[in-house]
Structure 1
Amino acid sequence: MIEARSLTKQYGSKTAVDGVDFTVEPGLVTGFLGPNGAGKSTTMRMIVGLDRPTAGTVTVNGAAYRDHAAPLREVGVLLDAKAVHTGRTAEKHLRAMAATHRIGRKRVDEVIAMTGLESVARKRVGGFSLGMGQRLGIAAALLGDPATLILDEPVNGLDPEGVRWVRTLVRHLAAEGRTVLLSSHLMSEMAQTADHIIVLGRGRVVADASVAEIVAMSGAGSVRVRSADMDRLLGALAAPEVSATPAADGSVLVTGRTAEDIGEAAASLGVAVHELTPVTGSLEDAYLSLTQDEVEYRSDAEPAIEGAGR
């Protein structure tokens, strides 16, 4: 379990993380999202003691990271896959890490096999592709068989098979009761992988809920309605929390009411309904809605397309 309480980090006059509170529970894959500059990397660095909080606390499995006698056995971390001596082979890199915690050669061989590195284990890391570097970083995170894993962009550079492998791996680890904190900019992948989502914006938590709740709270869901007497039906549905948006195809998108609510209202009025289709929002839609005012760097202009109009 990871627990942050009033966690704050300032760099001079800039507050990178501002009084953050959250709990990452075991048994779940928790997605950690936010725009560039939101404070995600700083928060993860504070969790594992690479940055010292200006105020507040963060613990892993009940203690500060620095207080664990054997941190690799408590927390597996992938923050920067390039943080490896490029002259070493993958095998020697892992064996050197293992030696610091008296982890045997057998476990090194296990994580090499687990991450698909057998064919390159004795090659120098400097010649690795981005995807192979990511696999080595994940192998290092798994080395101590830890109860908690923190993975920052683990699928970066992986091919589709590798992306699926990471998804299957983290869900399996969570199913074993481990705590998994996973950061990624790939919303489609996060939607398939995560059970719970924490969203940061400008150093603060803007959402902390299940994936389904995140999508629902953003207002991304709506119901597409067609009716022979739309005005009468919408009049019956009118309420402060209900909005109706005409669509180009003649239907109306209604938010604030479920399909069941609308169908029952139509039945009570005796109004014919020709279409009643729930429109499910995506995690990407929800994320963009939640963070639209939290983006530090924004491009408002439409990109010019070379040759357009010719």
Structure 2
Amino acid sequence: MIEAHALTKRYGEKTAVDTVSFTIAPGSVTGFLGPNGAGKSTTMRMIVGLDRPSAGTVTVNGRPYDRHRSPLREVGALLDAKAVHPGRSARSHLRTMAATHSIRKNRVDEVIEMTGLANVADKRVGGFSLGMGQRLGIAAALLGDPRTLILDEPVNGLDPEGVQWVRQLVRGLAAEGRTVFLSSHLMSEMAQTADQLLVIGRGRIIAAGPVQEVIDSVSGAGVRVRSPRAAELQALLQAEGIAVTSPEAGTLDLVGTSVERVGDLAFAHAIPLHELSPRSGSLEEAYMSLTQDAVEYRSEPTAARPRTTSERGQER
């Protein structure tokens, strides 16, 4: 379990994390979302003692990270997959880590097999691809067989098979009763992986709870209807005060109602329905709505610059 109380981190006049409080419970996967610069990495670094809080407290399994006698057996963390000497092999790196906690050597072999590194375990890490580096970082996080796992962007650089593997891995660990806390910018993957969400913006928690509950709190539950008499049904629904949009001919998307209410109304007016189904917004839509005022680094569209004569010549 991870517990934070009024956790705060300031860098001079800038407040990176502002009186944040949360509990990450065991037995589920908690996704940590937020724009760049929102305070995600700083929060994770404070959990594992790499940054000292300016105020507040954070504990893992009941203690501050640096109070655990064997931290790797309590908390496994992937915060920077590149934090490995490039001249060492993956096996050498893991064995060195294991020696600091008297972890048996065959555990190193186990995590190498588990993370798909067997064919490259004795090669220098400096030659690893981004995906292989991520796998090594996950292997290091798993080395102490910890009760709590903290992963910052674990699927970054992985191919689809690797992304699916991480999803199955973290969900399996959570099913064993472990605490799993991970961040990602891939909303579609987070929607499939996480049970709970913690959304941060400008250093403050702006949403927390089960994934579907967070989505519904923003977009609201809705209903999709298809009918050959959609225009007539739309008029009836709007007369009832129901918000209606029509994404295409014959199709209606409704907000603020239920399938039962729509079905009863259509039946009462003998309007045939070809589809009547509940519909909820996506995690990406909810995330964009929640964080629209919390984006610190925003890209602006730019018009294409005309090419010069010399640039056109260089292309030939």
With normalisation by structure 2, the TM-score equals 0.90
SS for the counterpart of 1:228 is: helix
Identity among equivalent positions (%) equals 66
Q: Which residue of 1 aligns with 2:133?
A: 133
What is the one-letter code of the residue matched to 2:271?
A
SS for the counterpart of 1:296 is: coil
Whether the aligned pair in 1 keeps the contact of 2:223 and 2:278 (CA below 8 Å) is yes
Q: Which residue of 2 aligns with 1:44?
A: 44
1:233 aligns with 2:258: no
Whether the aligned pair in 1 keeps the contact of 2:224 and 2:278 (CA below 8 Å) is yes
SS for the counterpart of 1:66 is: helix
Q: State the distance in 1 between where 2:75 and 2:235 align.
A: 58
- In 2 relative to 1, CA 118–192 (structure 1 residues): closer, same or farther, beyond 3 Å? same
- Tell which deviates more after alignment, 281-290 or 250-259: 250-259
How big is the shift at 1:279?
3.0
Q: State the distance in 2 between where 1:189 and 1:77 align.
A: 20
SS for the counterpart of 2:278 is: strand
In the TM superposition, 1:119-130 aligns within 5 A as 119-130=119-130
With normalisation by structure 1, the TM-score equals 0.91
How big is the shift at 1:104?
1.1
SS for the counterpart of 2:119 is: helix
Q: State the distance in 2 between where 1:300 and 1:62 align.
A: 45
- In 2 relative to 1, CA 306–135 (structure 1 residues): closer, same or farther, beyond 3 Å? farther
SS for the counterpart of 1:293 is: coil
What is the one-letter code of the residue matched to 1:84?
V
How big is the shift at 1:65?
0.4
Q: State the distance in 1 between where 2:306 and 2:214 align.
A: 38
Whether the aligned pair in 2 keeps the contact of 1:229 and 1:271 (CA below 8 Å) is no
Q: State the distance in 1 between where 2:162 and 2:191 align.
A: 17
Q: Which runs of 4+ in 1 moved over 4 A?
A: 302-307
SS for the counterpart of 1:118 is: coil
Q: State the distance in 2 between where 1:172 and 1:306 align.
A: 53
Q: State the distance in 1 between where 2:258 and 2:119 align.
A: 54
Q: Cα deviation per residue 1:18-58 (whole Å; 9 max; x = unaligned)?
A: 11111111010111110001100000000000001111111
In the TM superposition, 1:205-216 aligns within 5 A as 205-216=205-216
Q: Which residue of 1 aligns with 2:27?
A: 27
Q: State the distance in 1 between where 2:17 and 2:97 align.
A: 30
Q: Which residue of 2 aligns with 1:149?
A: 149
SS for the counterpart of 1:112 is: helix
- In 2 relative to 1, CA 14–215 (structure 1 residues): closer, same or farther, beyond 3 Å? same
How big is the shift at 1:231?
2.4
Q: Cα deviation per residue 1:68-111 (whole Å; 9 max; x = unaligned)?
A: 11100000000000000111111110011011101110111111
Q: Structure 1: which 5+ residue stretches go unaligned?
A: none
- In 2 relative to 1, CA 305–220 (structure 1 residues): closer, same or farther, beyond 3 Å? farther
What is the one-letter code of the residue matched to 1:228?
E
Matched positions, count: 302
Whether the aligned pair in 2 keeps the contact of 1:6 and 1:21 (CA below 8 Å) is yes
How big is the shift at 1:282?
1.3
Q: State the distance in 2 between where 1:119 and 1:214 align.
A: 42
Whether the aligned pair in 1 keeps the contact of 2:84 and 2:125 (CA below 8 Å) is yes
Q: Cα deviation per residue 1:96-151 (whole Å; 9 max; x = unaligned)?
A: 10111011101111111111111111111111111111111001000000000000
SS for the counterpart of 1:206 is: strand
Q: Which residue of 1 aligns with 2:219?
A: 219
- Across the aligned residues of Structure 1 and Structure 2, the Cα RMSD in angstroms comes to 2.0
Q: State the distance in 1 between where 2:128 and 2:256 align.
A: 51
In the TM superposition, 1:96-107 aligns within 5 A as 96-107=96-107
Q: Which residue of 2 aligns with 1:169?
A: 169
Q: Which residue of 1 aligns with 2:2?
A: 2
SS for the counterpart of 1:144 is: coil
In the TM superposition, 1:69-84 aligns within 5 A as 69-84=69-84
1:272 aligns with 2:271: yes
How big is the shift at 1:214?
1.4
Q: State the distance in 2 between where 1:302 and 1:280 align.
A: 33
Q: Which residue of 2 aligns with 1:191?
A: 191
Q: State the distance in 1 between where 2:202 and 2:48 align.
A: 21
- In 2 relative to 1, CA 283–70 (structure 1 residues): closer, same or farther, beyond 3 Å? same
What is the one-letter code of the residue matched to 2:74?
E
Whether the aligned pair in 2 keeps the contact of 1:76 and 1:140 (CA below 8 Å) is yes
Q: Structure 2: which 5+ residue stretches go unaligned?
A: 308-316
What is the one-letter code of the residue matched to 1:200?
I
Q: Which residue of 1 aligns with 2:294?
A: 294
- In 2 relative to 1, CA 20–134 (structure 1 residues): closer, same or farther, beyond 3 Å? same
SS for the counterpart of 1:297 is: coil
